[in-house]
Amino acid sequence: MDLDFWWLLVIPVAFALGWMASRHDLKALLSESANLPRSYFRGLNFLLNEQPDKAIDAFIEVAKLDPETVELHFALGNLFRRRGETDRAIRVHQNLLSRPDLPVNERDHALYELGQDYLKAGMLDRAEETFVSLQSGDHAQGAQRALLTIYEIEKDWNRSIETARHLESMGAGSLDLEIAQFHCELAQEALQQKKPDEARRQLERALKANPQNVRATILGGDVDAASGAFEAALAQWRRVEEQNPAYLPLVAEKVMKAYEALGHAEDGAQLLTEWVDAYSSNDLLDVAYKYVAALRGADAAHVLARTQMQKSPNLAGMSRLLEAQQAAAEEPRRSEIELMRSLLQQRTKNLPRYTCQNCGFRARLFYWQCPGCSGWETYAPRRVEPVPASN
């Protein structure tokens, strides 16, 4: 009985205390809200309704009424930068940094945002100077990533490697894929400057960072071929099949030229025919068809094109098959095929594209680094035919 009695007292008291606490929190929230200018809420409403221009005007009014609103200044600066008004974003963040009483963490935040403003405006020297000053704190890793972006834009590959390694030491995860590509860029420069030994050193470092880096293998073959060592070059390029056969179209023409230089063009044509049969690819077929037609005749090229079209029907393959049929046909059939092929080529001339798997950017040439999102190895090494949208 005594226990039940005490529970009857405890439950109402607990309920009353909870009700009083909630009332206190509600009063505090209403008090804080009452202290905020109406322009602040108008700005939020404009943002929610995707009206950034009106939101900026409202937030500017708030900033004038209450200059101490640091977070609002950050939001305002970011809005300016997103709109491309980098000069106004820079002024906002510079004004924040001019405050003598700004806490250290807020100062670092302002520096980081200012660096982003400079980067967006293309003022790379100022951006670099700003990010370099952020060696510690919550924004240090973000600053190093921004520095890496700057060095990639400037094609300063040695500093890119140093910064990537520094990022790894800060816990950013493995950047071996990117580091291998930076070494490949240095090797490419050395090859253009006719420094084969330096190119080989850089390629060794690239493969040490990422043993599956196909580009380093391809460039290794290029270095050997440039010095006339075609057997060694072929050994390098044929390794691509082991690493990733999807990249074989990038070396097909190189392989055939090397076999021709060695006086074994037929062996090269046979190898390409085997590749086409094992890995269906229009790009491989284009190279193989040309050399098979030259070495074995139009009939052999026709068989090759027809077989691949049966295995993997597509517009580019159809164009190649019509070319083979045209070569073997007689008048007036040849003229009819030429007309069909001409119409098909007009339809497909701009269809095949290399497509970035990260951002979807399409390009007519293959890139190791996407021009759209700057990602490395994001392009599939084969062209694709976009599927037209249905009505």
Check residue 358 and report its DSSP letter.
T
Half-sphere exposure of 338 (CA within 13 A, CB side): 9
Q: Confirm whether residue 370 is marked as ligand binding.
A: yes
Q: At what angle do helices 86-97 and 104-120 cross, to 10 degrees?
A: 160
- Tokens representing residue 148 in the block: 């890496």
User: Could you please report the per-residue DSSP string of 128-156?
Assistant: HHHHHT--SSTTHHHHHHHHHHHHHHTT-
Q: Confirm whether residue 184 is marked as ligand binding.
A: no
Return the closest-CA partner of residue 132 out of 155, 114, 153. Answer: 114
- Tokens representing residue 142 in the block: 């973000």
Q: Determine the Cα angle at 159 with ends 157 and 162, to 5°.
A: 115
- Tokens representing residue 35 in the block: 């202290």
Backbone angles phi, psi at 321, to 5 degrees: -65, -40
Longest dimension (CA), the chain: 113
Our CA dihedral for 141, 144, 149, 153, rounded to 10 degrees, sits at: 180
Strand bridging mode 362-363 / 354-355: antiparallel
Return the closest-CA partner of residue 379 out of 107, 389, 50, 362. Answer: 362
Our CA dihedral for 155, 158, 162, 164, rounded to 10 degrees, sits at: 40
Instruction: Calculate the CA 131 to chain-centre distance.
Output: 22
User: Could you please report the per-residue DSSP string of 157-217?
Assistant: HHHHHHHHHHHHHTT----HHHHHHHHHHHHHHHHHTT-HHHHHHHHHHHHHH-TT-HHHH
- Tokens representing residue 1 in the block: 């009985």
Check residue 387 and report its DSSP letter.
P
Bridge partner list, 369: 376
Feature table: binding site for Fe cation: 356, 359, 370, 373
What residues are designated binding site? 356, 359, 370, 373
